[in-house]
Amino acid sequence: MNSQANTQSDEKIGWFKQNYVALTTIWIKECTRFLRIWIQTLVPPAITMSLYFVIFGSLIGNRIGEMGGFSYMEFIVPGLIMMSVITNSYANVSSSFFSAKFQRNIEELLVSPVPTSVIILGFVGGGVARAVLIGIIVTLVSLFFVDVQIHHIGIIILTVLLTSSLFSTAGLINAIFAKTFDDISVVPTFVLTPLTYLGGVFYSLTLLPEFWQWVSKANPVVYMVNGFRYGFLGVSDVDVTLSLALLVGFNIVLFAVAYYLLKTGKGIRS
């Protein structure tokens, strides 16, 4: 009995080690991919956000004054950081996975003994790594324009991780269905950009009429931006607990969808 139990224990340890190696290999490959072309992946968001800080914060912000009890620059900084996290996490996985699918590399992973969940986590982990790195860079850039406050560091970290993993998974799903490189830009252009700009990045929902406040609350980005803003400033237009709960729920749903699509080979196997 002891010999059998030891054998089963060794098999489990071997299984975990094997999957751990597979996971870290995919993750390192994804990180190496965007770090190798850092001028294209890390520099542009920093320049873009600097322009936002100058135009919306310094120039327009002086005319607007305070918002939510804070200077306009302080108010928009969390939203701009979250906007860069959303766009970069999505773009990283959608482009990377589609490239692997286009070059037929993904088929090697699908026929390997690597579990589907490990494949998803590897690609999503790469998107999260890029998003976190971009978030840190944009935060450092914002220090040149405003003194950044931190109200609750735990909320900040949790919101960034949940949001970046959510949009990384969404990017993977987009890449699964995409037939051409043009298809992976459809969602960012026609879905992500409108949702982000209407997600409370540049304004408080309290400025809107009551009807439009309720309409805005149907936008999931509102909860991400406000949850992140609460971590910095301690203020939010929506309940922070609800924001985190929605993020967890969306992550579970999208992970399940991605798992089903990869497991069945939808959009990959002919």
Q: What is the pLDDT of residues 164-218, one digit of tens each?
A: 999 999 999 999 988 888 888 888 888 888 888 888 888 888 888 888 889 899 9
Classify residue 163: in a domain, yes or no. Answer: yes
Predicted structure pTM score: 0.90
Structure tokens at 37: 């072309």
DSSP element (H, E) containing 50 = helix 43-52
Contact 156, 242 (CB under 8 A): no
Q: Which two tokens stand for residue 78?
A: 């969390």
Q: State the Cα angle at 26 between 35 and 36, rounded to 5°.
A: 15
Q: Model confidence over 138-168: pLDDT tens digits?
A: 999 988 888 888 889 999 999 999 999 999 9
Any domain includes 94: yes
Strand partners, 176: none
pLDDT in tens, 62-93: 777 778 778 888 898 999 999 999 999 999 99
Could you list the residue range(s) of the whole structural domain that residue 6 is in? Answer: 2-264
Q: Which residues contact 61 (CB under 8 A, 6 or more apart)?
A: 71, 72, 73, 76
- Report pLDDT for 269: 59
Tokens of 35: 């770090």
Q: What's the mean pLDDT in 252-262?
A: 94
Distance of alpha carbon 154 from alpha carbon 185, whole angstroms: 33
Q: Provide the domain count of the chain.
A: 1
Residue 269 lies in a domain: no
Q: Does 179 fall in a domain?
A: yes
The span from the CA of 159 to the CA of 143, in Å, is: 21
Confidence of residue 110 (pLDDT cuts 50, 70, 90): confident
Any domain includes 270: no
Q: Is residue 5 over pLDDT 70?
A: no
Which residue type, as a one-letter code, is found at position 159? Answer: T
**Spatial contact of 156 and 224, defined as CB atoms under 8 Å apart:** no
Question: Once rounded to an integer, what is the mean pLDDT over residues 14-29?
Answer: 86
Evaluate if residue 2 carries a pLDDT over 70.
no
